[in-house]
Amino acid sequence: MNTYIGVDVGGTQIRVAIFPETGSVPIHQERISTRNTNESELDRLVSLISQLWPTEGKVLAIGVAAPGPLDSKAGVIFSAPNIPAWVDLPLRQVLKDRFCVPVALGNDANLAALGEWKYGAGQGHHNLLYMTISTGIGGGVISDDHLLLGEHGLATELGHVTILPDGPLCSCGQRGHVEAICSGTGIANYVAEEIQKGIPTRLPAKPRPTSKEIAQAARDGDALALAAMDRAAGFLGLALANYLHIFNPSIIILGGGVSRSGDVLFTPMKAAMHKYIIDPAYFKDLTITTAALGDNAGLLGALALAQEIQS
Amino acid sequence: MNTYIGVDVGGTQIRVAIFPETGSVPIHQERISTRNTNESELDRLVSLISQLWPTEGKVLAIGVAAPGPLDSKAGVIFSAPNIPAWVDLPLRQVLKDRFCVPVALGNDANLAALGEWKYGAGQGHHNLLYMTISTGIGGGVISDDHLLLGEHGLATELGHVTILPDGPLCSCGQRGHVEAICSGTGIANYVAEEIQKGIPTRLPAKPRPTSKEIAQAARDGDALALAAMDRAAGFLGLALANYLHIFNPSIIILGGGVSRSGDVLFTPMKAAMHKYIIDPAYFKDLTITTAALGDNAGLLGALALAQEIQS
């Protein structure tokens, strides 16, 4: 039986899965922690793929999802969170030379979009907008059945778009990005600052509340937590209205921990989208939903990418 | 000889051109004013096409550029500036029924992008961002050799993206859009307000200075005019940095009257792009230039569209 190999490199773990030629249920998969003091991360990745290499049939292609920034077209990782040794690493060429099969590399958020499109909440759509909202914010877009990549595969950095000049500081060093306001980090930072100012809340000052705790406190009726969710959701709705004007998708899929906040996020977010939209035509045939694949989105996106280069 | 027909419907004039099967130099073209009290605009458009209809060979397809909002996929114009009778007009079907050849309809800014890509400043590129900056702001994007349209052809409304919440009022009724700040109207509004406040300038309060006069005054060293161009250029640079993060193009083409302002626009705009970019990789292989086709961009885009549906 011929197979595809999907690889998902994350900040905490590396996953490798063997998929049959058709279908998306792995025949076999393994995960190891990304960091290990004795061996280089690249050696461990290569030896994990070797261990799982099927003894029967042909491996048609390997797809790899990795955290950006990376050039998916050149197959080069510029840098990777938690793997300091991976600087300007030509990972595609390394794996191609070692395993002698076609290899494709993609940004994890782009590949999660591809995974949700092929195997998850976006099946059957032709124009899809995916945003993952957790510690940071990443995005991916399918436009007329094409993954939007740009010249060097650096497109759809949907978290790093300025919506509030001189706004809160972002992880990237800029100010007022969608990520700086609407990510879990942005929500937690806002609440910590408000607590510092003496705004009353049932949330403790220490340990610093997480965005998950803040969403729970909002569902329990805490006024500061509700204000924090309202603020993040309002800006998220503004950002999504911008993205409707830019991409005109038929489905918006929200993934990541913050997307599991429920109505305290979705109700004010949808109200803001309606407030900021320039024409109701953008809501025609539009589905707004949450991601279906959870932690598997990147791995299934890597599979979809491997299938694409092979076809 | 077989031919294509290109049509450009504007607020002030309608143009129809007959193109040879290969090449972009029209064999024949005519223009009429859009408004006329005696006859409907649609009848006049149809009769102009009929008049110019080639007596020899076959018309392979008709491409039509029209001002938005329109559904390019359904071929329907929702409304058209200066043509109040065109509400939910199925123009593609009307022309198809009348002339019995394939017809395609596109938003004028999208088709200007297509025209610049096929026949203008963007030839040879695969990832192109086009913005026309005049009274309003429109945009078009080519991504991996595909015109980005979205589900109903409403994508790339690059002027109607919020970059300054609660900022100046836009023509669409929203606030803080790129168009509200960076268009000719946005620049002229800003200067008019500053003159009202008593800010010293050589520009007259009446008649209200146009953005062209403001750009000239800036080149002549007028402090208010320079501040106005700096402000618009700074926000334009911020918007373009956003679009680099979103589309990662290899060329940015700026068209429209404001793009002819010269260094008083381009110098602060480029400085702002560098200030707001998250990674210098976005400037790798990036060309920033002005449009090459002028008023012909829409018509040549209509030709390119006709060629696409035919191929």
Using the Cβ of B171 and the Cβ atoms of chain A, whether some distance falls under 8 Å is answered with no
Using the Cβ of A248 and the Cβ atoms of chain B, whether some distance falls under 8 Å is answered with yes
Using the Cβ of A27 and the Cβ atoms of chain B, whether some distance falls under 8 Å is answered with no
Using the Cβ of A171 and the Cβ atoms of chain B, whether some distance falls under 8 Å is answered with no
Inform me whether the pLDDT recorded for A243 exceeds 90. Answer: yes
Using the Cβ of A174 and the Cβ atoms of chain B, whether some distance falls under 8 Å is answered with yes
Question: Do residues B182 and B214 touch, judged by C-beta distance below 8 A?
Answer: no
Determine the Cα–Cα distance for residues A241 and A235; give it in Å rounded to an integer: 10
Inform me whether the pLDDT recorded for A212 exceeds 90. Answer: yes
Residue B105: phi and psi, rounded to 5, are -120, 140
The tokens for B171 are 């023509």
Using the Cβ of A74 and the Cβ atoms of chain B, whether some distance falls under 8 Å is answered with no
CA distance A100 to chain B (A): 27
Whole-number pLDDT of residue A11: 81
Inform me whether the pLDDT recorded for A310 exceeds 80. Answer: no
Whole-number pLDDT of residue A179: 98
Whole-number pLDDT of residue A38: 81
Residue B164: phi and psi, rounded to 5, are -145, 85
Size of interface A-B (CB pairs under 8 A): 130
Whole-number pLDDT of residue B79: 86
Looking at chain B, which residue has its C-alpha nearest residue A242? B161
pLDDT category at A81 given cuts 50, 70, 90 is confident
CA distance B206 to chain A (A): 32
ipTM greater than 0.85: yes
Per-residue pLDDT of chain B (311 residues; tens, 9 = 90+): 999 999 999 888 999 999 999 999 999 999 999 877 788 899 999 999 999 999 999 999 999 999 878 999 999 999 887 788 899 999 999 999 999 999 999 999 999 999 999 999 999 999 999 999 999 999 999 999 999 999 999 999 999 999 999 999 999 999 999 999 999 999 999 999 999 999 999 999 999 999 999 999 999 999 999 999 999 999 999 999 999 999 999 999 999 999 999 999 999 999 999 999 999 999 999 999 999 999 999 999 999 999 998 76
Whole-number pLDDT of residue A311: 63
Residues of A in contact with B69 (CB under 8 A): 279, 281
Determine the Cα–Cα distance for residues A247 and A256; give it in Å rounded to an integer: 21
Cβ distance B246 to A158 less than 8 Å, yes or no, reads yes
Determine the Cα–Cα distance for residues B160 and B251; give it in Å rounded to an integer: 21
Looking at chain B, which residue has its C-alpha nearest residue A70? B281
**Single-letter code of the amino acid located at B105:** L
Whole-number pLDDT of residue B39: 86
Whole-number pLDDT of residue A309: 87
Stretch A136-163: mean pLDDT, rounded?
A: 97
Whole-number pLDDT of residue B18: 98
The tokens for B25 are 């130099």
Determine the Cα–Cα distance for residues A267 and B214; give it in Å rounded to an integer: 44
Give the nearest partner residue to A281 out of B152, B173, B238, using CB atoms: B152
Residue A41: phi and psi, rounded to 5, are -60, -35
The tokens for B161 are 């993206």
Residues of A in contact with B71 (CB under 8 A): 281
Stretch A205-211: mean pLDDT, rounded?
A: 96
More confident: A210 or B81: A210
- The secondary structure element, H or E, covering residue B266 is helix B263-276
Residues of B in contact with A149 (CB under 8 A): 143-144, 248
Which one, of B8, B11, B10, B46, lies nearest residue B29 by Cα?
B8
What is the per-residue burial (b if ≥16 Cβ within 10 Å, else e) of A251-286? Answer: bbbbbbbbbbbeebbbebbbebbeebbbbebbeeeb
Residue B231: phi and psi, rounded to 5, are -65, -50
Which residues, in sequence order, are CB contacts of A84 under 8 Å at separation 6+?
Answer: none
Cβ distance B276 to A174 less than 8 Å, yes or no, reads yes
Q: Where would I find the beta strands (DSSP E) of chain B?
A: 3-9, 13-20, 28-33, 59-66, 70-71, 76-77, 103-107, 128-133, 137-143, 146-147, 251-255, 287-290
**Greatest alpha-carbon span in chain A:** 65
pLDDT digits (tens, 9 = 90+) for A160-181: 999 999 999 999 999 999 999 9
Using the Cβ of B166 and the Cβ atoms of chain A, whether some distance falls under 8 Å is answered with no
Angle at B292 between CA B289 and CA B294, to 5 degrees: 120
Q: For residue A64, count other CB atoms closer than 10 A to its CB.
A: 29
* pTM for the full predicted model: 0.96
Mean pLDDT over the full length of chain A: 95
Stretch A103-124: mean pLDDT, rounded?
A: 97
